[in-house]
């Protein structure tokens, strides 16, 4: 499984855009990039998944350059409720052995008023 | 609420005691996973079921741990002869195997404290 590296923590302010970059230099051809969000005392929650270029949903955007060795999760106009830990995961999404998720340490995002 | 549920939410036990946790997945999900999370770390995979079959177990799952999913619906995770190092949040997740998106739905977890 490809290893991921992401910042340990980031601070932001309400209304700002937060960009979290994840490095995955050893990403394999079949690997997808997935981001999860976790609030204190809750289980992680799926945010977004992508393979290449750009993916956008109602919560976030995911930017993946052509070489796929990194990816950036973009949270537009964050609010206090976006304070959480964000995990970048890389793995084969299709028919992998149980699609088990391999989490790293995540990025703790603190949104300040 | 049709999400993943876990019981109990909190469990305090003394070292050496046995504990059992229950997970009720989303009803149509055929895959069920158990993870363990310690403070400041991301969740670590323990085991997973497809229907009632336990298809993979992590090396983290020592002989004191056993998981079952008897009818392919709810699952239980038992820890025998608990140790202080077992103190953690135990998370359950479920998913549908035929989906291409690697989306697992997590429950709120059971926090275990071993004294």
* pLDDT score at B59: 87
CB within 8 Å: B40 and A42: no
Of A43-52, A85-94, B25-34, B94-103, minimum mean pLDDT range: B94-103
A64: CB partners within 8 A, 6+ apart? A33, A50, A51, A52, A53, A54, A55, A70, A71
Average pLDDT, chain A: 90
Strand ranges for B17-87 from DSSP E: 19-24, 31-37, 44-50, 53-57, 65-68, 75-79
* pLDDT score at A14: 97
The answer, for A106 touching chain B at a CB cutoff of 8 Å, is yes
Q: How far is A33 from chain B (nearest CA, A)?
A: 9
The percent of residues in chain A predicted with pLDDT above 70, rounded, is 92
Number of A/B CB contacts below 8 angstroms equals: 69
* pLDDT score at A93: 59
- Chain B environment of A93 (Cβ under 8 Å): 100-102
The answer, for B25 touching chain A at a CB cutoff of 8 Å, is no
Q: Which band of pLDDT confidence, cut at 50, 70 and 90, is reported for residue A91?
A: confident
CB within 8 Å: A43 and B102: no
Q: Which band of pLDDT confidence, cut at 50, 70 and 90, is reported for residue A92?
A: confident
- Chain B environment of A32 (Cβ under 8 Å): 102
CB within 8 Å: B109 and A41: yes
Q: What parts of chain B have a pLDDT lower than 70? A: 1, 98-102
């Amino acid at each position: 499984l490809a290893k991921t590296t992401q910042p340990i923590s980031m601070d932001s302010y309400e209304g700002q855009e937060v960009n979290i970059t994840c490095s995955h230099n050893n990403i394999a051809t079949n690997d997808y990039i997935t981001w999860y969000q976790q609030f204190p005392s809750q289980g992680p929650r799926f945010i977004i998944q992508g393979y290449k270029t750009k993916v956008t949903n109602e919560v976030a955007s995911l930017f993946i350059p052509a070489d796929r060795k990194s990816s950036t999760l973009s949270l537009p106009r964050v609010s206090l409720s976006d304070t959480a830990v964000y995990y970048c995961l890389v793995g084969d999404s299709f028919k992998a052995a149980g699609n088990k998720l391999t989490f790293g340490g995540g990025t703790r995002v603190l949104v300040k008023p | 609420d049709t999400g993943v549920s876990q019981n109990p939410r909190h469990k305090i036990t003394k070292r050496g005691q046995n504990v059992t946790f229950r997970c009720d997945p989303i009803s149509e999900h055929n895959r069920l996973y158990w993870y363990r999370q310690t403070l400041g770390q991301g969740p670590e995979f323990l085991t997973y079921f497809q229907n009632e079959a336990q298809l993979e177990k992590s090396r983290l799952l020592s002989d004191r741990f056993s998981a079952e999913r008897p009818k392919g619906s709810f699952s239980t995770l038992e820890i025998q002869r608990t140790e202080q190092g077992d103190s953690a949040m135990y998370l359950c997740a479920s998913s549908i195997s035929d989906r291409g998106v690697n989306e697992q739905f997590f429950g709120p977890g059971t926090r275990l404290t071993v004294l």
